[in-house]
Structure 1
């Protein structure tokens, strides 16, 4: 019998001081059986970092569907405006996403993120609609400790840093840029 996804509910209070965005969002996330708390929380952080651009940004089936990113924003015609990948995707996936979406964002994390970037950087350099960012591996492990089936998080974003706090603790994460769109 196949394992089912675990449902997480989160209320996120976002204060993005850089962009002047302040909002509260209630989201439901399905955690795939093979997904870690760390990846789940990085997905949630990515939502907070990019939802202010357009509130149509939604979580997709992610790991359950290889043709979808972790988050995306579709316009009213179904065209992909924003494609957000979490982790260390290969260059073919990124280039395919760049052909399908107006904007592609990668939020890399984990101990191998710098090695991953050095292996794909030259191969994706021609993609003009790609942005890549990386999070510190130790910080994302601490972020994973904040995961709970019912969460209420406050996320304050200033100067490419995100301060995440809840009743279980808090953590500051630097969002380091690897590649900005041309």
Structure 2
């Protein structure tokens, strides 16, 4: 699923509402969320995350570990390794830039549950006396509106907002 700005805003609100996160952890989570591409991937070093979030580099390491547990299912951290040339022509396995993957849950459907296909929820039947009273009330309103539109103008009219009677 592509991550658009609405999905980011929903996730940011969800992160903000989570209990158990410190202020720094929320800031780092928001920074990772805003830095992700349309597929939810972020390639960032701790230094870059610290710059984006305004937190210290040492805080980023601890916060990423905490976020990985708290946001399990939403944020996945892929710790990557790379082979680098070592001494005497050999190779050394070293840490590479981590990859952070966001999984954004789908948005709730825009329509009401009654409109879903296959929904069995229906309005309860209306009392016949109530239906007749509502019909009479609707007819009375329509008659009053028609009478007001067809009646000749009254010679004594109340001036707008003053409460005084105007007479020509």
TM-score range, shorter chain: under 0.3
TM-score (norm 2): 0.27
RCO comparison, higher one (Cα < 8 Å, 6+): 1
TM-score (norm 1): 0.26
Instruction: Specify which structure has the higher proportion of strand.
Output: 1
Instruction: Specify which structure has the higher proportion of helix.
Output: 2
Q: Which has the larger radius of gyration?
A: 2
